[in-house]
Amino acid sequence: MSNNMKSSQHKCDIPKVSVIVPIYNSELYLDKCIQSIISQTYQDFEIILVNDGSVDASPAICDNYETLYPNIVKVIHQRNQGIAQARNFGLDMAKGEWICFVDNDDWAELNMLEVMLHHAESDNIDLHIYGYYREYKNYSTVVQYPDIELAQHIKKNHLYYSELNGFPRTHHVWSALFRKKFLDDYEIRFDSDIFFGGDDFIFLLYAMRHANAVRFHSEILMHYRMRASSVTNTISSERIWHFCHWNEKYGIFCDLYFSSDEALRMKHYETLKLLQLITRHYCNSDSLYSHKDKIRLLRNHIKSEPFKSAIKECPLILIPLRRRWQIPFLRLGMVNLWYLLFRILNRLYLRDSYVREFFP
């Protein structure tokens, strides 16, 4: 760390941007993450490091940066409560006019804040969303947006048609810039009941709803580290319960913001995606369930709400072709054959999947 960086100080007590970094057991990646923020070309910011009960060297790394950069870095240590609560603590502590999130194993382009603030200061828009790199072990891919603005009357249609057309969920809180005032005015915070992920997408839905406008930018500003683990190996029975809980939270948002028909379609579509996730869990070769138990458990899901109504009522045209073939089997109760075909396709197409997103 250079002495020049260490001596860099803000000219005022209130920073323009608060960069919030939730941290949990990330000692291998944390230095690169924090250095990418410390070294920004735009220097009027604070970094809030929220250590969520890490048991590795992460707490010591955080404290070291606070010692080296006392005017920039602030550290919060909390018992393990999940990334949602960590981000909330950061939001409550933040003094900046703007809020930016960076995950502890990712890193930023060195001009990230400069670009973000250039756009933020040139208009009166509450929420800005940027592209990013997906960083795999040996290669990277790009997620890039066209330069467009969603005014109030367009935002709702964008959310509705994006969901029902099965567009990938490429919008994330860590590739966005939020005006803090509207987050506080509308009491937009992360749902700490969603412990295993997906809280950021719910947060972003409410943020997009209440922002005076949303602007997408073509610049690529973040590096998003992809973890090499299969979908099925990252899912437990406990997580299935939490994903179902997430589905309920998503339904609440739909009911608040959309007409009854629109909300019902969106909820059905999301429920069918959830069923895919649950089925992948049962396809896991390491599962302790017997084949008979898997079929029994899947039948129980399919016969219960909200899955029963989604299978029966969701229009086929709303379901992507890669999933549409399953609905006739499910409607006819042919669970054994459906599960057999699902397993075959899952092995062929999904065994090398890389995920850190809630629903692939």
Residue that wins the pLDDT comparison between 225 and 2: 225
**pLDDT given at position 359:** 33
Residue pair 92/192 in contact by the 8 Å Cβ criterion: no
**pLDDT given at position 349:** 59
pLDDT tens readout for residues 57-103: 999 999 999 999 999 999 999 999 999 999 999 999 999 999 999 99
Checking if the pLDDT of 190 tops 70, the result is yes
Checking if the pLDDT of 239 tops 80, the result is no
Q: 143 φ, ψ to 5°?
A: -110, 115
pLDDT band of 326, cuts 50, 70, 90: very high
Long-range CB pairs of 252-260 (<8 Å, 24+ gap) are 253/202, 253/205, 253/206, 253/209, 257/156, 257/159, 257/209, 258/156, 258/160
**pLDDT given at position 351:** 46
Checking if the pLDDT of 354 tops 60, the result is no
**pLDDT given at position 4:** 37
**pLDDT given at position 137:** 85
The single residue listed with the structure tokens 């703007």 is: 98
Q: Name the percent of the chain lying above pLDDT 90.
A: 64
Domains of the chain: 3-225 (3.90.550.10), 232-349 (no CATH)
Contacting residues for 182 by C-beta, under 8 A, at least 6 apart: 126, 188, 207, 210, 211, 212
What is the mean predicted confidence (pLDDT) over 309-337?
90
**DSSP strand E in 83-126: where?**
98-101, 107-108
pLDDT tens readout for residues 128-174: 999 999 999 889 999 999 999 998 878 888 888 777 665 555 578 99
**pLDDT given at position 15:** 96
Contacting residues for 160 by C-beta, under 8 A, at least 6 apart: 258, 262, 266
